[in-house]
């Protein structure tokens, strides 16, 4: 028994001397790009996290950003033993998204200003020696979170100022108009047509909202019965960005003319296939959409 204890203590000392990372410690700070790189509407920003979850330290992490409209977690490492699981959820558990390796990769976003990341150990490893030797664990390097109401109001005011400036330049014959045809914006929420034009309303179900890189919005639409989708080529120009794009279907107001909580949505990630036809890009959606 004494020999066993001595051997274990010796191995632990060897691991400590080798500088093996221990769960829960903070990794060195990393620079995080805060501005969306594309041409879509920016709806969020990136925050550095730099945390580790594993068997020998912290197994749960709560990420809270007061007032944020959503939280989306990025893993720079997902080195798991067979049976291990990682889950990202909102505090109530209503939204739950399991994440599998390998990393790096984004998890699906959760609504609200808080995300809870939990590491569930599968294969028994009471001393966690295998994990230390193999360098296993879950690394979280950053989070994308939605703008707060105050941030959105500030950006809206800046946008209005830019629009007024553009209108003045246009009136002075500078530049060219980029607006809805006819100069009159008569679009309405999809739900407004649910009774008056059910055919058009049902066809609108093909339209998807795209969250690119956790901070930028674009749109697309499903094509045919398979997991195929068209979007504008300016939304993303490479397969890597497509793989980091989250797709939301059924994202619509519950009432006509309102800003109610959207109905339940079906979300997935874009897959690897991407082709271009002029200004359009064709992609494949991973998972079943029904």
CATH 2.60.120 domain extents, the chain: 32-147
Which region, left, alpha or beta, applies to residue 287 given φ > 0 means left and ψ of -120 to 50 means alpha? left
Place of tokens 């749109």: 219
pLDDT band at 279 (very low <50, low <70, confident <90, very high): low
pLDDT of residue 16: 32
Place of tokens 């550095």: 48
Least confident of 57-61, 147-151, 214-218, 241-245: 241-245
Confidence check: pLDDT of 261 > 80: no
Confidence check: pLDDT of 27 > 70: no
DSSP of 25-63, one letter per residue? PPPPP-----S--SSSEE-EEEEEEEEEE-TTS--EEEE
Hey, what are 188's tokens?
């309405």
Residues ≥6 apart with Cβ < 8 Å to 134? 79
Is 188:180 a contact under the CB 8 Å cutoff?
A: no
Is 54:101 a contact under the CB 8 Å cutoff?
A: no
pLDDT of residue 68: 96
**How far from 11 is each of 8, 25, 130, 135, CA to CA, in Å?**
5, 21, 11, 15
pLDDT of residue 264: 45
Place of tokens 């007024």: 164
pLDDT in tens, 185-235: 777 888 889 899 999 888 888 888 888 889 998 888 888 777 778 888 778
Percent of residues in the chain assigned helix, strand, coil, to nearest 5: 25, 35, 40
Confidence check: pLDDT of 125 > 50: yes
Rg (CA), the chain: 23
CA angle 153, 159, 165 (to 5 degrees): 145
At residue 182, the 3 state secondary structure works out as helix
Place of tokens 């990341």: 117
Q: pTM above the 0.75 mark? A: no
Is 32:47 a contact under the CB 8 Å cutoff?
A: yes
pLDDT band at 19 (very low <50, low <70, confident <90, very high): very low
Element (H, E) at 8: helix 2-17
pLDDT of residue 249: 80
Least confident of 15-29, 60-74, 270-284: 15-29
pLDDT of residue 236: 76
Is 67:113 a contact under the CB 8 Å cutoff?
A: yes
Least confident of 45-59, 100-114, 151-165: 151-165
In this structure, whether the domain defined by 188-285 belongs to CATH 3.10.100.10 is answered with no
Which region, left, alpha or beta, applies to residue 134 given φ > 0 means left and ψ of -120 to 50 means alpha? alpha
Is 43:146 a contact under the CB 8 Å cutoff?
A: yes
* Domain 32-147, second-level architecture: Sandwich (2.60)
pLDDT of residue 11: 33
Helices (H) and strands (E) in the chain, counts: 5, 16
Least confident of 3-12, 64-73, 246-255: 3-12
At residue 202, the 3 state secondary structure works out as helix
CATH 2.40.10.10 domain extents, the chain: 188-285
Confidence check: pLDDT of 24 > 60: no
């Amino acid at each position: 028994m004494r020999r066993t204890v001595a051997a274990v203590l010796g191995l632990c000392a060897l691991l400590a001397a080798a500088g093996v990372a221990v769960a829960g410690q903070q990794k060195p700070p990393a620079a995080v790009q805060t501005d969306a790189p594309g041409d879509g509407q920016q709806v969020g920003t990136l925050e550095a996290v730099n945390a580790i979850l594993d068997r020998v330290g912290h197994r749960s992490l709560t990420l809270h950003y007061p007032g944020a409209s959503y939280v989306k977690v990025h893993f720079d490492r997902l080195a798991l033993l067979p049976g291990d699981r990682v889950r990202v959820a909102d505090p109530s558990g209503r939204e739950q998204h399991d994440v599998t390796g390998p990393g790096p990769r984004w998890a699906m976003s959760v609504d609200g200003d808080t995300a809870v990341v939990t590491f569930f150990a599968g294969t028994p490893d009471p001393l966690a020696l295998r994990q230390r030797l193999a360098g296993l664990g879950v690394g979280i390097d950053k989070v994308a979170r939605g703008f707060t109401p105050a941030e959105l109001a500030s950006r809206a005011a800046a946008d209005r100022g830019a629009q007024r400036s553009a209108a003045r330049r246009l009136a002075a014959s500078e530049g060219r108009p980029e607006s809805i045809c006819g100069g009159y914006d008569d679009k309405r929420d999809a739900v407004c047509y649910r009774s008056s034009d059910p055919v058009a309303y049902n066809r609108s179900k093909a339209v998807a909202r795209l969250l690119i890189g956790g901070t930028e919005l674009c749109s697309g639409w499903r094509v045919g019965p398979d997991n195929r989708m068209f979007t504008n080529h300016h939304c993303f120009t490479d397969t890597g960005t497509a793989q980091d794009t989250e797709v939301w279907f059924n994202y619509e107001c519950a009432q006509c003319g309102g800003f109610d909580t959207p109905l339940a949505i079906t979300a997935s990630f874009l897959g690897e296939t991407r082709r271009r036809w002029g200004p359009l890009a064709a992609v494949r959606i991973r998972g079943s959409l029904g």
